[in-house]
Structure 1
């Protein structure tokens, strides 16, 4: 079961039920949530004037926006990728070199996406790719490769 954030409506329901004197356990059961989730919600989002649903929702959104995100492509890594691409290495070779040197483990598709983003911003990294006429298209996992021979007659 995947974790799902509380919605604004659920927070409003919590506020009403708390005002009516309903216990945290009963509110959690009615919402289909764990009691500890509700307890954490109240602990994090209670203000000086008690639990207010709009304030709680704003505080939760602000916490979500401010939390640190795992970023693999730092400026240093981007610089290194750009230098290797300008040296006419393929994204697969760049990914392999970065892994072999123990810098970072990246998928070559991440490097292709970085190059495409650079092109959209007016950069010229894409000109150093070996195939410039057709845009890159990953070939694994697509349905047309798995269909086999068309109009095949079985040997059975």
Structure 2
């Protein structure tokens, strides 16, 4: 349960247009409290039902509420998936550093994988080899790569693979927002897709990665 003190801190940051994921990440980073971002969404919803206006500070207030408090899953099978259509325009326009694209490269016969991350403005590429494409492996590798530079992680846009089902834990650990490209529209993560194509020159589809 949120104490009045924590509610006060959360409210101030919501009013400064922080996302619940960013707030939860910062509270944990500052050693104040380890709080799941869904708890903050529930707090916002309770405030709205009581006549409050905290929900107006959510970046996509109406769509976000439908996604958060409607069905927890969707046709992709990814819980609480937020579509790329809800991504801030400043991400689409490449106006800042800190917006990433993510995917995985899978080895032949599903033996081994590589999780890849590309920052949209600086063109920085990070890649990490995995024993397989289990969601837990991808979660651990993504946090391992981005945690040292998480002040430069504002959003991550993922492919719709099941290996990204733990995206909410990634968002909470890094204090960022997560989005998903439209299914079968890899061009929406064009930078990542192009870089993966280059990587495939060295790790072709006929190669096992472990």
TMscore range, shorter length: 0.3 to 0.5
Highest Rg: 1 or 2?
1
Larger RCO (CA under 8 A, 6+ residues apart)? 2
Q: What TM-score comes out, normalization by structure 1 length?
A: 0.45
Larger % of helix: which?
1
Q: What TM-score comes out, normalization by structure 2 length?
A: 0.34
